Amino acid sequence: MSSVIEIILNGLITGSIYALVGSGIALVYGTTRVLNFAHGELMMIAGYLVLFFAVTLELNVALASFLTLVLVGGAGALIQRATIAPLLARNDWAFQVIAATIGLSIALQSAAQLVWGEQFRTLPYFFSGVAVIGDIRMPWQRIAILVFAVLIMSLCAFVLYRTPLGRMVRATAQDAEAALAVGIPSGLVHTAVFAISAVLAGAGAILLSPLVTVNPWMGVAYLLKGFAVVILGGLGSFGGAVAAGFLLGMIESVGVAFAPTEWRDVIAFTFLIIVIWFRPNGLFAGREG
């Protein structure tokens, strides 16, 4: 029984990171129809920033995390204004935006190698100790990932569905020109969405960095999982991406309980292929109001 609970907990913890990354990609795509291939590099930048603030400057973890989220959110807004917005004004911008974000992804990886080198770096646990409940032992750091990820996504959902900014985002997502005609600044809404998406990626990096290494390529694997989550949840669906993230984490956790860990990605993407074979629009497409 305890091993079943551990499998479920591990699945939820892994899934919460996938949900954070995937929901950011889905939010941008749902609002602007842009697939941001540099999303993983925003995660990488956040990893290095929290490393700098928490380890190099020895700031309090909460302050280091806050500064990291502010800066990575600003980076997301800057990318949108400097790279995406000018391209969206052109005809046939879809391929140009894809090429631009792929180029930006490669450029950011190369810049990270120049600035921070190719060494793999680690952060100490933000929360030490192990929670023991009966036969179940789980590091507090892993439990904190699940708790904070759920809180952050709940806050984001509140902003989207219960605030004026959220209403402007949803109106722009439905029809940007009509939204502009009634006085909603669609361009600024696009910038805000990129900033929120970057903050979600940054939060994932902060929560995950004590468990993995920070390196110039750390965002690549999570970008692929993020795209898988977006496809599973239904393109552009924030709620669908969150649900799909947890589902994918559970599928992986159950899979590696019966197969070698190296099969984790094989299991995840086999499941993705099976799903899109039967439901090409994703599991939760059209269920978001």
**245-264 confidence digits (pLDDT tens):** 999 999 999 998 888 888 88
- CA dist., res. 231 & res. 240, Å (int): 9
Domain assignment present for residue 25? The answer is yes
Q: What pLDDT shows up at residue 235? A: 79
pLDDT at 218 over 80: yes
154 occurs within a structural domain: yes
Look at 157 and 93; give whichever has higher pLDDT.
157
Length of the chain: 289
Q: Which segment of 43-52, 79-88, 93-102, 278-287 scores lowest on mean pLDDT? A: 278-287
Tell me: the pLDDT tens digits for 120-140? 988 888 888 888 877 888 889
Range of weakest confidence among 4-13, 45-54, 66-75? 4-13
**267 occurs within a structural domain:** no
Has residue 192 been placed in a domain? yes
Number of domains in the chain: 1
For the record, the structure tokens of 233 come out as: 């949840």
- Select from 282, 205, 201, 277 the least CA-distant residue to 241: 282
Interval 62-96: pLDDT, tens: 999 999 999 999 999 999 999 999 998 887 888 89
Q: Which residue has the higher pLDDT, 1 or 33?
A: 33
With respect to residue 92, please indicate whether it lies within any of the assigned structural domains. Answer: yes
Domain presence at residue 49: yes
Residue 289's pLDDT band, with cuts at 50, 70 and 90, is: very low
Q: Residue 287: which pLDDT band, with cuts at 50, 70 and 90? A: low
pLDDT at 258: 87
Q: For residue 190, is pLDDT > 90?
A: yes
Tell me, yes or no, whether 287 lies in a domain.
no
In which domain, by residue range, is 156 found?
21-220+232-239
Give percent of the chain with pLDDT exceeding 70: 98
- Residue 274 in any domain: the answer is no
| The token pair that represents 139 in the structure block | 């590091």
